[in-house]
Amino acid sequence: MADRRKPPPGWERERRSDATFWSDGTTTRHAYWGPAQAWWWRRAGWKRALAKAPVIPAAYGMLFHRAVTERALAVATGAAGGLGLVRFFTWREQWGHDRAVVKPLACRLTALLDQPVRDRRSWLTVPPDYGTDDAAEIVIGVPEDFTAADRDMEDLTRAVTVSTGWMAPKAEPVLRSRHPRLVYTKSLPPPPAVSLEDIRPHIDAARPSEVILGLARKSEPARLDLDSETPMLGFSMSTGEGKSEAAKNVAAQVLYHGGILMILDYKLVSHMWADGLRNVCYARTPAEIQEALMWLAWDDYDDDGNVMRASELTRRKQVVLAARRAGQKPNPGPRLLVLAEERNATARAIRRFHRRMGGKGAPPALESLDETGETGRQVCVNKLDVAQRFSAKASGSDGSADARENIGAIVTKDPKEATWKMLAGGHAQPPRSGHKGRYQLITAPGVTEFQGVLYHKDPVESDRIARELAMAGTIGQVPHDMPFVYRGPLLVPAGMGQDARARQEGSEQGFVLGPEVGVLTAGEGPGRAVTLAEAVAAGVFVSIGAARKAAQRRGWEPAGGTRAGGWEYRVEDLYAYKREQEKR
């Protein structure tokens, strides 16, 4: 600091600063001419001597070689002026960079590291070309007692991301040093577009339980393992952001690796690429969705509590139990992926359907979805929920967030801040990219940004490519009683073509109407009773509503079945109805 008070008498005999001949000083006294004089007095002695040295040759030249000296001084003055302009513009850029980036970052970090903002240049380094240089490094000096705890690292990384715009920067703690520090480097962004050809080598090299979502930074594959970390998935994106396209990619890979698929599509046409595949159950209406889910995870009990009809989940659990007791490796069957489209709208439709059918409480279809998410991983059953906003009301049968806790990975696309806080579990939200197909994968370890796969810009061509991929690998065999599976001209069980006594246990039994009796094309059990849904699938009725009206008007009495699984009616009655319609 300069003391600008009027100097007292005899001040010339006092030291003007604490500078020595070899080192600069820090304080000055009696610099009554202002900061310039104080700065000059704080200079080291050798620097002041070096600055004064040109004065003697210049004075000598002006006395004895005036013309040459004037030209030399003009050149020197011009060079000094140019150097001064360069330094001024350089200082201007550094000042703007410090004001726009360095100081805001220091203010965000000082509360975490207890470092002074005014002295930020001594502990914070942000290169001016940090936005264009991929090899740029941001160095943050930390106190000696800093331990790089997860919470602290998350807060520091969030501050760097907000201040610089670096998405998911890589942090390297250098704590075993005399100058402990954190070194942040930029992560290369995902590629701008990804096609099936870009990820096909990764798909072929992946395990059957893995799916490739796209390519992340440095073109690394963004993968999920359905057997371990992320058996249950969730896609939460607003309309038009590519939910169905991303779900198509996951489902096609599951089929490619030998799995089977159950699609719950209230929109009817979300996944036409899978329509008619023999390893896909495609349920569209609320009635079909309920029947498919109750086949999957709803057991029928008698009055004594004994299981009358075991669901697919229960059958798989029994297979695993028997294998474990025998000391063998369990094989519950092919991987089954349940793809639930538009969970928000589907949940409302199922609740309305349940109330119209006279049901009370939570719909059994939604409870079956909860059961799948809670117990499916052990028996190789996975679930993918697709929603515009994956709220608690959309994810669980009772409207609580318990079912969402089973979701191991959530894929989203630039959500609102409230939605991110609901889904991200405390992870920092990266800046919105606005790029088409740029998704954020939220898992327990952190957030990964990746570019999703777009098979083709033309939806028809994209469906064709997905269908070819699904059928190019191992074709999984569906259970014989899995409903709404295309097995030929009629919806019949997978046992079609076996001998006359082939096993058939399911409710989805195709039948042939003739003048003799209703004959099961394949099956086990009575062949004279089928459900109305089976009759609609066989073409007897145009819709389930028409079938119910016909049964009510003609007074048909159920010959078997249950309210939940569907009442069964005599084939003779259906044949008589069909003959009446043909005569008209």
With beta carbons less than 8 A apart as the criterion, state whether 137 and 174 touch: no
- Pick the closest to residue 339 from 267, 445, 240, 435 (CA basis): 267
Distance (Å, rounded) from C-alpha 450 to C-alpha 188? 11
Residue 438 burial (CB < 10 Å; 0-12/13-18/19+)? Answer: buried
CA distances in angstroms from 422 to 86, 392, 404, 425, listed in the order given: 52, 9, 11, 7
Could you count the other beta carbons within 10 Å of the beta carbon of residue 512? Answer: 16
What pTM, to 2 d.p., does this model score? Answer: 0.63
List of residues 6+ apart from 315 with CB closer than 8 A: none
Taking the C-alpha atoms of residue 432 and residue 415, their distance in angstroms, rounded to an integer, is: 8
Supply the CATH classification number for the domain 230-472. 3.40.50.300
Report pLDDT digits (tens) over 234-279. 898 888 888 889 999 999 999 999 999 999 998 888 999 999 899 9
Q: Check whether 397 has a pLDDT greater than 80.
A: no
Sheet containing strand 447-452, edge to edge, reads: 221-225, 210-215, 447-452, 438-442, 409-412, 232-236, 381-387, 336-340, 260-264, 280-283
Q: Which residue has the tokens 């979701």?
A: 407
Q: At what angle do helices 103-113 and 150-164 cross, to 10 degrees?
A: 170
Q: How far is CA 200 from the centre of its chain?
A: 20
- For the stretch 76-107, what's the b/e string if a residue is b when 16 or more beta carbons lie within 10 angstroms of its beta carbon? eeeeeeeeeeeeeeeeeeeeebbeebbbbbbe
Whole-angstrom Cα distance, residue 51 to residue 46?
9
Which CATH number does the domain 511-583 belong to among 3.40.1800, 1.20.58, 1.10.1660, 1.10.3470? 1.10.1660
Would you place residue 315 in the very low, low, confident or very high pLDDT band (cuts 50, 70, 90)? Answer: very high
3 state DSSP class of 70: helix
409 touches 210 (CB < 8 A): no
What's the DSSP call for residue 246?
H
Closest to 551 in 3D by CA, of 568, 534, 528, 527:
568
Residues 442, 453: Cα–Cα separation, whole Å: 17
Residue 97 has pLDDT above 50, yes or no: yes
State how far the Cα of 501 lies from the Cα of 519, in Å rounded to an integer. 12
- Let me know: does 332 contact 319? Beta carbons within 8 Å: yes
The answer to which of 146-150, 284-288, 327-331, 517-521 has the lowest mean pLDDT is 517-521
State residue 583's pLDDT score. Answer: 64
Per-residue model confidence (pLDDT) at position 10 = 61
pLDDT of 173 over the 60 cut: yes
pLDDT tens-digit map of 413-455:
888 888 888 888 777 777 777 888 889 898 888 888 899 999 9
Tell me the three state secondary structure of residue 383: strand
Residue 215, token pair as written in the block: 């390519």
Which pLDDT band holds residue 528 (cuts at 50, 70, 90)?
A: low
Q: Are 180 and 172 in contact (CB under 8 A)?
A: no
Give Dmax over CA atoms of the chain in angstroms.
136
Q: Which residues contact 417 (CB under 8 A, 6 or more apart)?
A: 429
SS3 340: strand
* Pairwise pLDDT comparison (545 vs 233), residue with the higher score: 233
| DSSP type of residue 406 | G
Cα separation of 225 and 254, whole Å? Answer: 11
Instruction: Tokens 């704080």: give the residue.
Output: 42
Q: List the one residue out of 239, 248, 208, 224 whose CA is nearest residue 409.
A: 224
